[in-house]
């Protein structure tokens, strides 16, 4: 994993980078490695069976539960809502929680504007 200067410099002086520094340097790789480590520990404790990953996207506040197959991990890859309001997001999060998948990963899409940083929200409203 490529680390920014401030992260690898801290490891050179004998201080290991904090989890926050690792996350900030590359959130995708950090989360993927944590998920991999967590799942590999779980698999070693039970009989080895495949992990079934289900990926959905662009649900735009639509309950598509009947179309989602069972699985271990559900990834929602963006556009949970139409306009990204807190009310829409809460309704979608409530729906996602109701699904039977043990692990859920949610990635905000361009319609999920409330989840953007403050600068992004100002841009989205103008």
Residue 18 confidence (pLDDT): 83
Q: In this predicted structure, what is the pLDDT of residue 8? A: 46
Count structural domains, the chain: 2
CA distances in angstroms from 120 to 15, 58, 59, 79, listed in the order given: 34, 20, 22, 16
CATH number at residue 90: 3.60.21.40
Cβ contacts of residue 89 below 8 Å, gap of 6+?
80, 81, 112, 114, 115
Mean pLDDT by 10 residues, the chain (126 residues): 49 68 81 82 68 91 86 91 88 92 90 70 47
Same structural domain, 23 and 61 = no
Whether residues 57 and 43 share a domain: the answer is: no
Beta bridge partners of 27: none
Residue 73 lies inside a defined structural domain of this protein = yes
Q: What is the 3-state secondary structure (H, E, C) of the chain?
A: CCCCHHHHHHHHCCCCCCHHHHHHHCHHHHHHHHHHHHHHHHHHHCCCCCCCEEEECCCCCCCCHHHCCCCCEEEECCCCCCCCCHHHHHHHHHHHHHCCCCEEEECCCCCCHHHCCHHHHHHHHC
CB atoms within 10 A of CB 66: 5
Q: Domain range spanning residue 37?
A: 17-48
pLDDT for 13: 53
């Amino acid at each position: 994993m490529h680390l920014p200067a401030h992260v690898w410099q801290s490891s050179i002086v004998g201080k290991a980078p904090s989890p926050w520094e690792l996350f900030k340097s590359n959130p995708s790789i950090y989360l993927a490695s944590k998920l991999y480590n967590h799942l590999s520990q779980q698999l070693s404790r039970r009989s080895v069976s495949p992990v079934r990953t289900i990926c959905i996207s662009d649900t735009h506040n639509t309950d598509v539960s009947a179309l989602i197959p069972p699985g271990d991990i559900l990834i929602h890859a963006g556009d949970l809502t139409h306009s990204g309001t807190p009310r829409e997001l809460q309704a979608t999060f409530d729906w996602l929680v109701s699904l039977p998948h043990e692990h859920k990963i949610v990635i905000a899409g361009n319609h999920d504007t409330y989840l953007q940083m403050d600068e992004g929200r100002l841009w989205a409203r103008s």
